Structure 1
Amino acid sequence: MQPQDLLTRLQEVDLDVRNVGAWPRGLRLALLGMLAALLLTVGGVLHVGQRVGDLSQATRAETRLLADYRRLHVATVDVTLAQRERNRAALRFETLLAQLPGDAEVPALIDEISRAALAQELSIERITLGEELATTSYVELPIDIAVVGDYHQIGAFLEALAGLQRILAPQDFRLRSREGAEHLELTIRAQTWRRREVAGDPT
């Protein structure tokens, strides 16, 4: 059938939209097929659009969660490093505390200072303990030292103080000559620390 003949036949058919049942069977099937295709297309577009929206939302959520994970991972690594550093610092602090004399060892430290002065033939004017200052872990203990001797003796005494096993930190020095004598007087305000004793701790 030629397209011209088909067009002529279609013009001859009286198509009443209000009476689709009177349409030729082939035309009704074609209309039904077009409506089905249109519905499927619209439904597919709506469904795909919703799925694309869901996918876009899921992608944004994934990006946000990944950023949160990275931030938490960095924070966790930082906390782990901080804990390691704190443990190392605590170990160093414990090592330093172990070098501090206990209550019973402070007199021994005074004896060591006296022996160092006498070994250099210095005249000991005084070696006295100052007022203690307690903290949570240790007690600060000032020691006032005054000795008399010549330059070489005083230099050797200072070297001996630096070589003591216990921590002794000289804070203030004063060196002055004695009137009418070749000797010098050295006064030192030194600082040492002792462990704070816990009740029941034998150390």
Structure 2
Amino acid sequence: MKLSDFRNLDRNNVGAWPDGVKYTACILLFALLLFVGWYWSISGQSDTLVQKQKQEIELKKDFHDKQLKVVNLEKLKTQLDDMREILRQLLRQLPGKTEMPELLDDVSRSALSAGLDVQLFEPGAEAIQEGFYAEKPIKLRMLGNYHQFGSFISAVAALPRVVILTMHDVSLKPSQQPTGKLPASPGQLTLEGTVKTYRYVDEDEAEAAAPKKPGAPNAPAAKAAR
């Protein structure tokens, strides 16, 4: 095969090419196909490799985080126990079940002592929340001025037990007398809505209030069995 054989080749008549040129063209075409197939395969594997490398980094980070948690597990358990004990101590500062009626009377008397006109003070049914405290809604409507409401709040804060009152749909606005009556005194305000107060729930009460699993014996029966 000579170099001159590659000159003046008729692309429309491949069969007339010299045998050496035909063999060379076949080899080049085969090599080109091999290269294209190799490149296509390597390209797909390259994308997979990048994904696997990212996944490896994420797994290493996840392993490192879990390893730190395992190393500090005992310390974290101790901190959790300490936090639970602090929470119990804080909860014990709330009034108990037997103290709640007296507490409500104290709150009502504090409002009257402050000079407020208590038109509505209606405690509702309490509900145990998350097994360690109970909330009791109180619907109220009180009339007074800023100083009287301030005295009321100070009196509630000075009660022997911790009293938490959270506001729910409560409005404080200037008082308006019904049509046909004299207008309200200047500075007169109306506090109306629902507040919630909270009390401590001991373990026995929380256990009794917890939903029973199907087939589980009731508490008295279980204690009698012991």
TM-score normalised by structure 1 residue count: 0.55
Of Structure 1 and Structure 2, which has the larger fraction of its residues in helix?
A: 1
In the alignment, structure 1 residue 167 sits paired with structure 2 residue 163: yes
Tell me, in whole angstroms, the C-alpha distance in 2 between the residues paired with 1:188 and 1:163: 23
Tell me, in whole angstroms, the C-alpha distance in 1 between the residues paired with 2:153 and 2:66: 54
Alignment equivalent of 1:85, drawn from 66, 79, 82:
79
Give unpaired runs (5+ residues) of structure 1.
Answer: 1-69
Change (3 A) 1:81 1:152: same
- CA RMSD in angstroms comes to 2.6
Tell me, in whole angstroms, the C-alpha distance in 2 between the residues paired with 1:195 and 1:160: 21
Q: Which amino acid aligns with 1:178?
A: Q
* 1:128 alignment partner, SS class: strand
Q: CA deviation at 1:113?
A: 0.7
The equivalent of 1:181 in structure 2 is 184
The alignment of Structure 1 onto Structure 2 pairs a total of residues equal to 130
Tell me, in whole angstroms, the C-alpha distance in 2 between the residues paired with 1:128 and 1:184: 20
Change (3 A) 1:181 1:87: same
Change (3 A) 1:89 1:196: same
Change (3 A) 1:107 1:71: closer
The equivalent of 1:104 in structure 2 is 98
Contact kept? 2:156, 2:163, Cα under 8 Å: no
The higher radius of gyration belongs to: 1
Contact kept? 1:161, 1:168, Cα under 8 Å: no
Give unpaired runs (5+ residues) of structure 2.
Answer: 1-63, 178-182, 206-226
What's the % identity of the aligned pairs? Answer: 29
Q: CA deviation at 1:110?
A: 0.8
Change (3 A) 1:170 1:162: farther
Contact kept? 2:137, 2:196, Cα under 8 Å: yes
Change (3 A) 1:71 1:153: closer
In the alignment, structure 1 residue 140 sits paired with structure 2 residue 135: yes
